[in-house]
Amino acid sequence: MAQASYSPGLEGVIATTTSISYLDTEHEQIVLRGYDLIELARTKRYTEVAYLTLYGHLPSAAELAGFEGQLREHAELPGEVYRLLDLLPRRMHVMDAQRTVLSFLAGLEDPESLKDTSVEANLRRGVRVLAQMPAVTANAYRALRGLPRVRPDPSLGFSEGFLYMLLGSRPDPDAVRVFDLTLVCYIEHEMPNSTFAARVIASTLSDLYGAVVGAAASLKGPLHGGANEAVAHMLLDILRHGGADAAEAYVVERLRRGERIMGFGHRVYMRRYDPRALLMREFVPQLAARRPEGEELVRIHQTVERVMHREKGLYPNADYPAGLIYYLLGIPIELYTPIFLVSRTAGLVAHVVEQHAHNRLFRPRVLYEGPRGLRP
């Protein structure tokens, strides 16, 4: 066995080999199946990048048509799921609703077939889960808020259809384009806590549903996916308490109290800009006019970024622009991290497929600091 070593939070530790993605910080690139994720986000739509993530190559026109057809075919939820959503406690977080439905969906699959961890079975299962996640997410929110359910519209593409169900009305093409770009940015990001959680669970040969449920539980945490919601709440808090002119003092005071400003910092990027944040930031100004308070929020957003760099040398991560973009698109704040999970489902499925195909059970050791030699 290799010499055991200990790094808090596994910082800097290589957890596994993978052919899916890699954060090439030296070249400031997010490599996804050999492509630069930022270039993919600029030139491809989410379904093309999801296909690449799952199957390892960009789809031909025919492959894309088939894949998008599968996503449309499986978008609608079984009736039992809608009944389950009606039973959920109203104060439940949408991400807890997502993982509850994922566990329920596992129960709808034949228990014997669920044991099939082959690449084919996992991809079939994973594409079905990805297809269902937009309707699960939008309808979980609507059930929890006492709003009428909205069924997938098979005439709409994946991102347009998802945004339609989130808003309850047909989105305009510009909104769809930016929303789709954010989904590409969120699709896959090497080995964040949630992906690691999924692989640890899959490494016991537990099923794909359970791995995604574990990832959802991880992603809900404010140090991880929950940050995009916190960004929106912070911007609105500053807006209500003096606006852009008060933003600097707001940040300085919270830092003085030792608080963290959500949307900044990253374990891997450390004190560098998250390429996804740089890309998404380009699209913020064009969205500002969509809400009366948009221009002021953009000024607040820019001031907070400037102060965080000056005070802490920290740059935004993907959640910082995403939180403002989703707000300007009119999406309810409590849906921001659930949206992140929907997008990342493609990456999570790819990792479960890879883990099951080349498995080694995760079972690390510990540095014991407790008492020894005690007698009863």
Where in the sequence numbering do the catalytic residues fall? Answer: 224, 266, 319
| List 74, 260, 299, 309, residue binding ligand SDX (CB under 6 A) | 260
Angle between helices 94-107 and 119-144 (to 10 degrees): 130
Total of chain residues touching ligand SDX, rule CB under 6 A: 19
| List 152, 161, 171, 263, residue binding ligand SDX (CB under 6 A) | 263
CB 103 within 8 A of CB 213: yes
Contact letters (x/-) for ligand SDX, 124-163, by CB under 6 A?
----------------------------------------
**Of 52 and 261, which has the nearer Cβ to ligand SDX?**
261
| List 48, 229, 319, 354, residue binding ligand SDX (CB under 6 A) | 319
Cα 213–chain centre separation: 13
In whole angstroms, the minimum distance from the beta carbon of 223 to ligand SDX comes to 4
**Of 142 and 189, which has the nearer Cβ to ligand SDX?**
189
| List 266, 281, 351, 356, residue binding ligand SDX (CB under 6 A) | 266
At residue 304's C-alpha, the angle toward residues 301 and 310, to 5°, is 140
Distances (CA, A) of 42 to 184, 243, 275: 9, 32, 12
Q: Compute the distance between CA of residue 98 and CA of residue 339 in angstroms, rounded to an integer.
A: 10
In whole angstroms, the minimum distance from the beta carbon of 263 to ligand SDX comes to 5
- Contact between 309 and ligand SDX per CB under 6 A: no
Region of 44-52, 88-96, 199-207, 262-270 interacting with ligand SDX (CB under 6 A): 262-270
DSSP 52-90: HHHHSSPPPHHHHHHHHHHHHHT-SPPHHHHHHHHHS-T
Closest CA to 98 of 135, 140, 159: 140
Residue written as tokens 């270039």?
Answer: 39
Q: Compute the distance between CA of residue 108 and CA of residue 177 in angstroms, rounded to an integer.
A: 34
CB 113 within 8 A of CB 168: no
| List 175, 208, 227, 287, residue binding ligand SDX (CB under 6 A) | 227
| List 93, 124, 177, 224, residue binding ligand SDX (CB under 6 A) | 224
* Residue 92: strand, helix, or coil: coil
| List 223, 249, 289, 357, residue binding ligand SDX (CB under 6 A) | 223
Question: Interface residues for ligand SDX in 85-124 (CB under 6 A)?
Answer: none
At residue 56's C-alpha, the angle toward residues 54 and 60, to 5°, is 95
**Of 84 and 314, which has the nearer Cβ to ligand SDX?**
314
Contact letters (x/-) for ligand SDX, 186-215, by CB under 6 A?
---x--x-----------------------
- Contact between 351 and ligand SDX per CB under 6 A: no
CB 318 within 8 A of CB 186: yes
Taking CB atoms, the residue at the shortest distance from ligand SDX is: 265
Distances (CA, A) of 112 to 77, 116, 117, 355: 22, 7, 11, 20
- Contact between 261 and ligand SDX per CB under 6 A: yes
Region of 243-251, 314-322, 355-363, 368-376 interacting with ligand SDX (CB under 6 A): 314-322
In whole angstroms, the minimum distance from the beta carbon of 191 to ligand SDX comes to 7
Which residues lie below 8 Å from residue 304, measured CB to CB, with a gap of 6+? Answer: 234, 235, 238, 247, 250, 251, 261
* Residue 30: strand, helix, or coil: strand
- Contact between 323 and ligand SDX per CB under 6 A: no
The residue ranges that bind ligand SDX (CB under 6 A) are 189, 192, 223-225, 227, 260-267, 312, 314, 317-319
